[in-house]
Each structure stands twice: as C-alpha cells, then as structure tokens.
Chains A and B, each alone.
Chain A
Amino acid sequence: MSKSSRQKSNRRVVGWLSLWVLGMFGFGYALVPLYDIFCEITGLNGKSATLSEVSAKPLEIDRSRTVTVEFAVDVSGIPWRVDRPEIVRLKVHPGEATTVTYAAHSLTDSRSAGQAVPSVSPARAARHFRKTECFCFTRQELAPRESKVMPVTFVVDPALPEEVKTITLSYAVYPAKNIVPANS
C-alpha cells in the first residue's frame, strides 16, 4: 500500500470508528427512554398504569374475589410528616373504585413543596393497579405548618393475575424538583 492511499484508508477507518463511538454514546442516552417504555409495558419497577387507560371502559366489579391492598409511605429529605390511611390493609373487590386519604403535615415555618412517587409491588400487579386520582399526579405545596388531606382513588383491574392476593402501594415523598415525573 502506498503512503497516501494508506493515509486515506486510515482516515476512513478513523472516521467510521469515531461515528460509532458517538453512536454508542447516544445509545447510552437512548437506553433511558427505552427503559421507561419497557417498564411501562411490563409494569416493572412498580410503575403503575397511567390515566389514559382508565378512560377506556368501566370495569366490571368481580365480587367473588377479594384483594388486599396495603398502604405505605416514606418521607425523604423534606420536613413533612405523612400519615398513611387509617385502614392500612384494605380489602377490595377487583373493578371497584376506592378512595383512601393520606395526610401531610408540614413541620417547617416556611413554604415547602413535595412530590410523591408511587410504587406498586409485586411488579406483575403494577399494571393492573390503576389510579384515577392521586396526589402524586402533581406537586403538593404546603404553607408553614399546614396540614392537608391527600386523596387517592384507585381501581384494581379484574385482569389481575389469580395468584396475586396482596398489593402494596407505597409512596416515597421527596422535595419537589421542577421536573414532573413522567410516570405518575
């Protein structure tokens, strides 16, 4: 190979490989939306069904079956106390709309805003757990020392796999950032 033709083919190899490097860097970022879509389809990581699915058709209530729904909440990094609903373990029928209320209390003398992030387990129940109304859909603002009742309305889809007897709905409450979570 002559010197100039070798230089040319070196340049070509470097060009292609650099493009590939850039592409893989982009692929790393592309994994983020791919991951979210994958989790939404499969219900992994307790990302529960979104609103749009509920507007479809009213679900039939399956009175022959009872599912226990447990409620939990954690507060992280924000001076709030959040109380669980009074009935911590609630028996519901699939298809039946139920409303429970959490209560948030600000423990600080300044205004504060929090964002609740829900998680449903077991993972295979997540996409059958539909929230029609939830305080986690928006950020919650509290005046100094304010207390606030925060309702959540949900329906358990009758399509829930037979073997699931108990579903846990757990919230983690964080200081609100400007970003609204995509999966609430």
Chain B
Amino acid sequence: MTTTVADHHHDEVPKGITRWLFTTNHKDIGTLYLWFSFTMFLIGGAMALVIRAELFQPGLQVVDPHFYNQMVTVHALIMIFGAVMPGFVGFANWMIPMMIGAPDMALPRLNNWSFWLLPFATSLLILSLFVPGGGPAAGWTIYPPLSVQGGMGVDLTIFTIHILGMSSILGAINIIATIMNMRAPGMTLMKMPLFVWTWVITAFLLIAAMPVLAGAVTMLLTDRHFGTAFFDPAGGGDPVMFQHIFWFFGHPEVYILILPAFGIISQVIPTFARKPLFGYTSMVFAAAAIAFLSFIVWAHHMYTVGMPLSGELFFMYSTMLIAIPTGVKIFNWMATMWRGSMSFETPMLYAIATVALFTVGGLTGLMMAITPADFQYHDTYFIVAHFHYVIFCGSVLGMFAGVYYWLPKWTGHMYNETLGKWHFWLTIIAFNVTFFPQHFLGFAGMPRRIPDYALQFAEFNVVSSIGGFVLGYSQLILLVVVIKAIRGGKKASAEVWDNPEGLEWSVASPAPYHTFATAPEVR
C-alpha cells in the first residue's frame, strides 16, 4: 500500500489480501502494526469521548454507571495495549532494520505471527462489552476483589492480556535478535541510532515485565474459577499482594510506553536543529538507568495501602532518583537545540511539544512521588492529568513526530505541511484545554473513575469535555494527511530533510520493498 514498484523492477511486491496475511516483510508488518495502532487509537478515543460526554454535566445523563466503568477500563486497556505498544512495535519494524543496515528482521515468520495475534486479542476485549455482565469494569489495573467478582467479561479481558502479552514478548525477542545479529558491518553498539538503543532497552523491559503480568492475571483466573486463593482473604490470600505484583509489571510498563518515544525525538530534534545529538553516550546510559530504576519503584502507585514508613521512604527516594536520568535526557535535547539553525516543520513541532509537555507530566510525577503529598492526590483527577501528560504528550506526541518525520520515507510523498500544522496546533491546544483543568479538579478532590461529581467541579469539567471533543476529532486530520500522502503529493527525495543522519535516508523514497540485501559499509 505504501510501496510503489515502478522504479525498482527487482522488487516483486505480492498482491491482494494474502500479501498482508502471509507477509514476512518488515515494512509490510510495520505498516500493519501502525494501521492497527491508529485504528485502536480511534476506538479508544471514542470511548474517551463517552467518558467526557458523561462528565460534561454533573449527574447521570448519557450512560449508566456500570457502562461508564467499563468505558474507563477498556479505554485504558485499548490505548495502552492496543494503540501505544503496537504503534511503537510498528516503528521498530519499519525503522530498525533500515537504521542498522539489515535486510529484514531476524525472525520474519515470528514477526508475522506476533502481529496477527493482536486483532484477535483486541476483538476479545471489545467482545467482552457485549457479553452478559458486560466488560471489565474494575479499572485497567483490574484490582481484586472487584475483578474476582466480575462476569465473564473479566475472563475475556484476562485472555486478551495473555495474548497481547505473548505478542509483545515475541516482538521484543525478535527486536533483540535483530539488533544483536543483523547489524551491518561497522555498526557498533555505540554507533546505533538512539531510536534503536531505546528499543533494545524497551525490549528487555518487555521481556522482564510482561511475564509477571501474565502470572498475575493467571492467578486472578485461577482464583476466579479453580478454587485457588491468591488474592482472596477467605482462603488466606491478600488483595494487596495483587497490587504489588501488578505494579512490579506496571511501572516498567510506563517506561515501555515512553522510551521508544524518547528514541524518536532523539532522531527528530538533531535533524531540524541541524546539529548532532548532544551527549549521545549519556542518552544511552540515561535510558538504561531509567529502565533499571523502573523495577524498584513500583509501590509509589500504592502509598495508601498501609506500608511501613521505611517502605514509603524507600519508594519515595528511589522514585525521585528517576528524575535524574530523565533530566539528563531533557537537558540533552535542549542542548541539541541550543544555537542550532532550527526550522519548525511538523515533526519538529511535535518533538518540541513532547519535550515541553512531557516535562509537565514529569514534574507532577515528582509531586506525587512525595509520599505525604500523594495521600492527597491518590485516586483523584490529578493522577488522570499526570498520566495523560506523560502518555499522551510523551508517547503519542512522540509517535506523531515519528509519523510526520518518516512518512515521506514510507510513502515517497511529502505530507501536506498546512494540514500537519493544523493537526499539531489543534492537538496541542485541545490537549491542554482538556487536561490542564484536571489538575485543579484533582487538587479540589474530584475522585477518578466516578461518573458523577459534586457541583463545584462543573465548570472545569465543561472546559475539559469541550477540549476532549476537539482533541478527539482533530485526530481525523492525521488520517487525511496520511491517506493524502499515500495517494500522491510532492515527490520526496531520498534524504527528505536537510542532511539528516542515519542509514534510512540513504535508500530511495519510498523505501524499496527490500532494502540492504547487501549490507552497507558503516564507517
């Protein structure tokens, strides 16, 4: 779909539906992942609009509370496991072989399978909304006892998580094998583009964290149906233990969601600042440090369960420690831009917005890391505002930067810059209109995951809902931009941008169906 064959007669591109079903080509699979991710982004976004419609006014008017809870839960699961994670795997598939001078991924058949697991998994999740008792309604964290009590929708969710976990573990193994074994001669580890580096680290995080989640939901499943009592106090279990196991997965997960975005903007910013990335080595080590620390901070998600003081102090200090490598990254990006001859095409705008707004989310994260302060923020809209600033402004905006940056390479056509700018400004303004007021709501005590609220929260919720709808519909512009670029437009040169760095710019635009059949020489 995105590859033309006219100039490359040696490229035999298979035709029809079977091309996509049986493909082992990393570019095809990358395209599938990205379209899948975008579809899920729109479905999850529609669910967010149900939430915002309900919260437009106090009282219950649009949906009943049980369905509202399902929307909150499934929105999060779809966005995390359906949109962001597969989106980044799509980028990895498309770009990593081209960036390291490999002809394809190391395990192409496995690659096909890890993609085709996804549609089945998310179908199960969406199906759960239509079974008796409805879908999961306990929040995406599926805490027992609520998740032990739910209907068969919870079982479908558990299977969804199993299959999605399998898919991302297989993807991660493939990415590590590719990077270990497929690098072009001369492409040493410390010459790899930063996007490749952040993905190696992410892949290791996936391999270490996803199996723990699989274990946790398996325990939930056996508690529900096979008489075990891991989390059931009646049988000697403990619901708080689920929270520990879940967040042992959950905190590395948030870096799984963010590190590839750090990688993308580390590619974009040097191109448009026309300077090499500042502090490459420190960037690599900072990413590794963040990954390591992510495994020892999990209980900051659960300060209020009644931990001893020493535990709270440990998790408070270790959490604050993460600000150091993250700060190194932020300052390196700023130093890269410093006195660069910058230009502000859409990818650069998105990269700068990612740095700026992710920092807002990072700083509210530091506020929540302070244990006594967190007792006020816990389970309020302040948390909702925080994680949308990090996941939307970090991961999603980072992905948008990557889409605009590499779209000419994928399609062979320049995208429409005017539409791109419209998409950018509408997204940024609407995002802040939606989520900035939620900080105030959280401070004032509005709890999350509740379909109704006290009257004094009404004004900010109106603002937030209006922003939410603008934000949601603005994303259709991206769809138009991508379709227009696939159909035609100004021909893109091989380099596309002004002297960008990286092997992917040494092949033609659009990238031929097979690249680097003979490995390039890297000096």
Question: Do chains A and B interact in one complex?
Answer: yes
Cα A176 to Cα B214 in complex, Å, equals 28
A6 CB-CB contact with B under 8 Å: yes
> How far, in Å, is A181 (CB) from chain B's closest CB?
3
CB distance from B296 to the nearest CB of A (A): 14
- Tell me the complex Cα distance, A179–B241, Å: 18
A14 touching B234 in the complex, CB below 8 Å, given contacts A24-B211, A123-B308: no
Q: Is the CB of A42 within 8 A of B308?
A: yes
B215 neighbours in A (Cβ, 8 Å): 25-29
Can you name the residue of chain B whose Cβ is closest to the Cβ of A30? B215
Nearest residue (CB) in B for A13 is B177
**Which residues of A sit under 8 angstroms from B522, Cβ to Cβ?**
none
Q: Answer yes or no: A56 CB below 8 A from chain B CBs.
A: no
Whether the Cβ atoms of B245 and A14 lie closer than 8 Å is no
Chain B interface size, as a band, is 35 or more
Min distance, Cβ A178 to any Cβ of chain B, angstroms: 7
Cβ–Cβ < 8 Å partners of A21 in chain B? 169, 173, 207, 210-211
B207, B234, B236, B245: the one contacting A31 at CB < 8 Å is B245
- Over the window 209-245 of chain B, the binary record of Cβ atoms lying under 8 Å from chain A Cβ atoms (1 yes, 0 no) is 1111111100100000001011011111010110011
Contact yes or no, A25 B177, CB < 8 A: no
Which listed residue, B212, B229, B235, B307, touches A24 by the CB 8 Å rule? B212
Which B residues are CB-close (under 8 A) to A22? 211
Q: Is residue A18 contacting chain B, with contact meaning CB distance below 8 A?
A: yes
Chain A residues near B169 (CB-CB < 8 A)? 21
A181 to B306, CA, bound (A): 21
If A10-B106, A17-B176, A28-B245 touch, whether A117 touches B233 (CB-CB below 8 Å) is yes
Docked complex: A146-184 residues within 8 A CB-CB of B: 172, 174-184
Task: State in angstroms the CA–CA spacing of A160 and B210 once bound together.
Answer: 42
Residue on A with the closest CB to B307? A44
Q: Report B-chain residues with C-beta under 8 Å of the C-beta of A27.
A: 211-212, 215
Q: Is the CB of B238 within 8 A of A10?
A: no
A31/B181 contact (C-beta < 8 A), A17-B176, A25-B211, A45-B306 known: no
B181 touches A9 (CB 8 A): yes
**A45 contacts B208, CB within 8 Å?**
no
Residues of B within 8 A of A6 (CB): 106, 181-182
Q: Which of A32, A176, A178, A183 gathers the greatest number of chain B CB atoms within 10 Å?
A: A32
Q: Is A105 part of the binding interface, using a Cβ–Cβ cutoff of 8 Å?
A: no
Q: Are B227 and A177 in contact (CB under 8 A)?
A: yes
Q: Is the interface of A mostly helix, strand, loop or mixed?
A: helix
Contact of A172 among B107, B214, B233 (CB under 8 A): B233
The count of residues in chain A whose C-beta lies closer than 8 Å to any C-beta of chain B is 44
- Which residues of chain B have C-beta atoms less than 8 A from A179's C-beta? 227, 229, 235-236
Pair B241/A124 contact, Cβ less than 8 Å:
no
Asked if residues A181 and B244 are in contact (CB atoms below 8 Å), the reply is: no
| A13 pairs with B214, CB closer than 8 A | no
Q: Determine whether the beta carbon of B236 is less than 8 Å from that of A182.
A: yes
B78 → A minimal CB distance (Å): 24
- Please name all residues of chain A whose beta carbon is closer than 8 Å to the beta carbon of B173 when the two chains form the complex: 13-14, 17-18, 21
Q: Which residue in B176, B177, B214, B230 is a CB contact (below 8 Å) of A32?
A: B230
B residues less than 8 Å from A18 (CB atoms): 173
Please indicate the chain A residues that have their CB under 8 angstroms from the CB of B483 in the complex.
none
| A31-51 Cβ-contact flags toward B at 8 Å (1 or 0) | 110010001001011000000
Tell me whether A20 and B214 are in contact in the complex, defined as CB-CB below 8 angstroms, given that A45-B238, A179-B235, A183-B236 are known contacts. no
Would you call B180 an interface residue if the criterion is a C-beta within 8 Å of the partner chain's C-beta atoms? Answer: yes
Measured in the bound complex, the distance between the Cα atoms of B310 and A44 in whole Å is 12
Task: Give the CA-CA distance A28 to B210 in the complex, in Å.
Answer: 10
Which chain B residue lies CB-closest to A42?
B308
Q: Does B248 contact A (CB under 8 A)?
A: yes
Chain A residues with CB under 8 A of B214: 25, 28
Chain B: CB-nearest residue to A31 = B245
Q: How many whole Å from B200's CB to the nearest CB in chain A? A: 12
* Chain B residue at minimal CB-CB distance from A124: B308
| Chain A positions within 8 Å of B248 at CB level | 28, 31
* Distance from A74 Cβ to chain B, minimum over Cβ atoms (Å): 11
Check if A20 sits within 8 Å of B207, measured CB to CB.
Answer: yes
Q: Does A115 contact B (CB under 8 A)?
A: yes
Map CB proximity to A onto B100-126 as digits: 1 under 8 Å, 0 otherwise. 000000110000000000000000000
Query: Residue of B at shortest CB range from A47?
Result: B238
Please name the residue on chain B nearest to A122 by beta carbon: B306
Chain B interface (Cβ < 8 Å from any Cβ of A) = 106-107, 169, 172-173, 176-177, 180-182, 207-216, 219, 227, 229-230, 232-236, 238, 240-241, 244-245, 248, 306-308
Pull 11 A–B residue pairs with CB atoms less than 8 Å apart, ordered by A: A6-B182, A13-B173, A13-B176, A28-B214, A28-B248, A32-B219, A32-B245, A115-B234, A117-B234, A177-B234, A184-B236
With A10-B177, A29-B219, A180-B236 given, can you name 7 additional A-B contacts, CB distance below 8 Å?
A9-B181, A14-B177, A21-B207, A31-B248, A45-B238, A115-B235, A179-B229
